[in-house]
Structure 1
Amino acid sequence: MRWCARCVLPDTRPGIVIGDDGVCNACRTHGLRPEVDWAERARAFGRLCESVRSDGPGYDALIPVSGGKDSHWQVLTCLEHGLKPLCVTWRPPGRTALGQANLDNLVRLGVDHIDFTVNPDVESRFMLAAFRRFGTPGLPMHMAIFGIPLAMALRMSIPLVVWGENSALEYGSPDGLHMGERLTSGWLARHGVMHGTTAEDWIGSEGLSARDLTPYFGPSPDDLEAKGLRAVFLGWYFPWDPEAVRRVASGSGFSASADGARTGFYDYADVDDEFIAVHHWLKWYKFGFTRTFDNLSLEIRNGRMTRGEALAEIARRGDEMPREDIEAASAFMRISPEEFFRIAERFRNPDVWTRHDGRWTIPDFIVPDWEWT
């Protein structure tokens, strides 16, 4: 493993490339922000909104939302530009009370909203199939998050889909600068966390039929564009910063967690789903880092934390295993926690981990005196 000399991300993170200077591509991309003409990009978004805005019946834009801080920012920005949006949510099976409260608050901002629930039995079997095949129970989540809103936009002839941040830009992608504005099929293939699969590839897994998987058969972004629909990232037009977005959302009634961060460093991110911590924690087995490393790297790039302070925070947190969430996710997938760990162990990366004195360790870990448990 190599670690970025500026942030705290390793080159095992998908999309991260560390250059000869020891700095990762995510940090280099962020360093180019001052060169961006943000005023012109804001005007470009205004022109885009003007091109789709209509005084007649129908929706000008569709906004995929969870109810989180980014969702509030997307909705507020679209409303400020005079759009009539339809908001669409894939309802997570582990939705939290706080997540529901924030989603209700978002709807009260003045939007129409569809809360799409997948058959829990289908979702349970799909999660287990994905976990067993790829070590990621979050794959159905990503397939639903991207597929359901795009399908809705196509079927309702909505001309614009407005996503929030572009994770390829924020968390690292060798080609992120060339894939910054639109969500395309190429973007989904590289950054959609679906391991290059479509719903069709899961027919027969855990007894799932094509009819069972209907909600996951979404159109590709290229199909949308062929119909004259565009899917864009708001973070291309306006500088995305989690703390700045949180302030905007909080000013409109969004609430952070009163019990601290559910996963990672931010107490206002990933607060809507009790299973998301499991998805993020499995990065530890596969890549040797967790959601906290992502968050702290953003804090470093935005000048709110030094690398030394980030390393101290990582050391202070120690083992971040979300035990209660693992138990809840295991129960939903109808397996025991013991079976969960047996499956997870199959995906422990031998290029990252070494067995030493009966314990798994990461050689040359970024925190030298890490307490391995």
Structure 2
Amino acid sequence: MTATRLCGRCGLPEGRRSVTFDDEGVCSVCRHHELKHHKIDWTQRERELAVLAQEVRGQGPYDAVVSFGGGKDGSYVLYYLTEVLGLRCLAATIDNRFLRDQAWENCRRVIDGLGVDQVVLRPPFPLVQRLMRAGLGLAGTVCWHCTAGIAAYPVRTAIQLGVPLVFYAHSLSEYYSYPGRTYADAPESDRMDDEWYELVTGTSFAEMAAAVPDVDPRALAPFAFPSREEIDAAGVRTLFLSNHIRWDERRQVDVITRELGWRGAPQEGVPAGHEYEKFDCFLVGTHDYLRFVKEGYGRGARIGALETRLGRMTQEQAVELGRSSDGRRPASLDTVLDLVELDEEDLLEQAVAFAAPGRDFDLESVSRATPLPDADRMPTAHRGASAGGGQDG
């Protein structure tokens, strides 16, 4: 197996999308984060955000729509907007039928604690299965239905209800270095548009619609991102909170845990001690495994890279964290294979088709992870969505 080149500062592998290395062996994401931590006046950006909040407050039934699924990021965004900025928010949730019970419990704690309303989009489970299968062929992922819904639904909700602001947690700047979408660029250049939609979902809506031609276009509409013309005509502004405050996930988890009783849980592929990280969905283990297949990068490496940029971990510790958790075959993959009606070889073949140049994935070296303690709550092809969640919106 070919050795993977790692960033000399954060341990990020060179197979990561959009990442480049300079002559000193430091990755482009670390270079952009130097600006985040040393060059940006975050106090001024927070003041400017407070001014914007004052301008929009009371213009509609809500001041802001927030993408929210019970995880740490959306929970903190709701906390900041309501408790710091004094905005009235609407939480927009995608129920892909794979949200875990602890995520729904967090939804209840956050919504009740902050006095926030919630709307839920719950697409039919057979449609979710179709989109999982199509996403594999188009982008090597089973999560297109979720990322597309998260991208489009809050904006569509804001347009429909006349809400002036839509907030997402973090921009691509936290993990990638796409031109025009880094901490070296002004926040206003980091726009939610068709390009952004394709970067976060892996493919365009038009390609997905063409892949499922027998699906009623009206059923797919909630997954389609509105045009910039439609967004601008409605007077809606789309913002990433991480472009306006100094983003620090561990610090923010401490806040929502203390103030709202928020809780994490163990997750496949997430190292012990980091239960705050993306625990909310049953598909995360398979999502991260397929990302490891394609990019040699898993959840442990992601956490380690962020922690080194914040000065809380060394490069050696970050690399070891990734090695301790990344690339293990998740037990949930068996259920996913049943849902998409593929055998493992076919699924991996579709994922490898989207691998980074030079990526050498060795299936023989993969070890199997143990099932989650609540694995029996995961929807299956036979039980459908009846086993998942238990949330009525």
Q: The TM-score by the shorter chain falls in which range?
A: 0.7 to 0.9
Task: State which of 238, 246, 251 in structure 2 corresponds to 1:231.
Answer: 238
Q: Which residue of 2 aligns with 1:11?
A: 14
Q: Kindly indicate whether residue 30 of structure 2 is the aligned counterpart of residue 30 of structure 1.
A: no
Q: Kindly indicate whether residue 107 of structure 2 is the aligned counterpart of residue 103 of structure 1.
A: yes
Q: Which residue of 2 aligns with 1:365?
A: none
Q: CA deviation at 1:205?
A: 2.3
Indicate if the aligned counterparts of 1:169 and 1:180 stay in contact, CA closer than 8 A.
no
Indicate if the aligned counterparts of 1:25 and 1:174 stay in contact, CA closer than 8 A.
no
Indicate if the aligned counterparts of 1:11 and 1:17 stay in contact, CA closer than 8 A.
yes
Q: Which residue of 2 aligns with 1:296?
A: 304
Paired AA for residue 296 in structure 1: G
Q: CA deviation at 1:300?
A: 0.9
Closer, same or farther in 2 for the Cα pair 1:30/1:207, shift >3 Å? Answer: same
Closer, same or farther in 2 for the Cα pair 1:8/1:186, shift >3 Å? Answer: farther
Q: Kindly indicate whether residue 202 of structure 2 is the aligned counterpart of residue 194 of structure 1.
A: yes
User: Mean alpha-carbon deviation: is it higher for 113-122 or for 304-313?
Assistant: 304-313
Closer, same or farther in 2 for the Cα pair 1:45/1:318, shift >3 Å? Answer: closer
Name the CA distance, whole Å, in 1 between partners of 2:363 and 2:200.
30
Indicate if the aligned counterparts of 1:142 and 1:192 stay in contact, CA closer than 8 A.
yes
Q: CA deviation at 1:70?
A: 1.0
Q: Which residue of 2 aligns with 1:84?
A: 88
Paired AA for residue 178 in structure 1: D
Name the CA distance, whole Å, in 1 between partners of 2:109 and 2:10.
35
Name the CA distance, whole Å, in 2 between partners of 1:178 and 1:312.
32
Q: Kindly indicate whether residue 185 of structure 2 is the aligned counterpart of residue 178 of structure 1.
A: yes
Name the CA distance, whole Å, in 1 between partners of 2:356 and 2:366.
16
Cα deviation code 1:191-225 (max 9, x no counterpart): 32332x11564235274231331221231355312
Name the CA distance, whole Å, in 2 between partners of 1:119 and 1:199.
20
Task: State which of 133, 140, 146 in structure 2 corresponds to 1:135.
Answer: 140
Cα deviation code 1:227-279 (max 9, x no counterpart): 3210011111111111011111111111011xx34333431121111012211
Within 5 A, what are the aligned runs for 1:117-136?
117-136=122-141
Name the CA distance, whole Å, in 2 between partners of 1:315 and 1:117.
36
Name the CA distance, whole Å, in 2 between partners of 1:44 and 1:194.
33
Closer, same or farther in 2 for the Cα pair 1:26/1:342, shift >3 Å? Answer: closer
Q: Kindly indicate whether residue 56 of structure 2 is the aligned counterpart of residue 52 of structure 1.
A: yes
User: Mean alpha-carbon deviation: is it higher for 341-350 or for 288-297?
Assistant: 341-350
User: Mean alpha-carbon deviation: is it higher for 282-291 or for 168-177?
Assistant: 168-177
Paired AA for residue 269 in structure 2: T
Q: CA deviation at 1:43?
A: 0.4
Q: CA deviation at 1:327?
A: 1.8
Amino-acid identity (%): 25
Indicate if the aligned counterparts of 1:281 and 1:291 stay in contact, CA closer than 8 A.
no
Closer, same or farther in 2 for the Cα pair 1:25/1:226, shift >3 Å? Answer: farther
Indicate if the aligned counterparts of 1:185 and 1:220 stay in contact, CA closer than 8 A.
yes
Indicate if the aligned counterparts of 2:138 and 2:208 stay in contact, CA closer than 8 A.
no
Q: CA deviation at 1:16?
A: 0.9
Task: State which of 60, 65, 69 in structure 1 corresponds to 2:68.
Answer: 65
Indicate if the aligned counterparts of 2:94 and 2:120 stay in contact, CA closer than 8 A.
yes
Q: Which residue of 2 aligns with 1:353?
A: 360
Q: Kindly indicate whether residue 264 of structure 2 is the aligned counterpart of residue 264 of structure 1.
A: no
In structure 2, runs of 5+ residues without a counterpart are 368-393
Equivalent position SS for 1:29: helix
User: Mean alpha-carbon deviation: is it higher for 206-215 or for 19-28?
Assistant: 206-215
Paired AA for residue 96 in structure 2: P
Count of aligned pairs between the two proteins: 355
Equivalent position SS for 2:167: strand
Name the CA distance, whole Å, in 2 between partners of 1:9 and 1:15.
12
Q: Which residue of 2 aligns with 1:366?
A: none
Task: State which of 250, 263, 273 in structure 2 corresponds to 1:255.
Answer: 263
Indicate if the aligned counterparts of 1:62 and 1:88 stay in contact, CA closer than 8 A.
yes
Q: Which residue of 1 aligns with 2:377?
A: none
Name the CA distance, whole Å, in 1 between partners of 2:57 and 2:8.
46
Indicate if the aligned counterparts of 2:293 and 2:327 stay in contact, CA closer than 8 A.
no
Name the CA distance, whole Å, in 2 between partners of 1:45 and 1:57.
18
Q: Which residue of 2 aligns with 1:208?
A: 215
Cα deviation code 1:38-90 (max 9, x no counterpart): 11111011011011001x76111111111111111111111121211111001
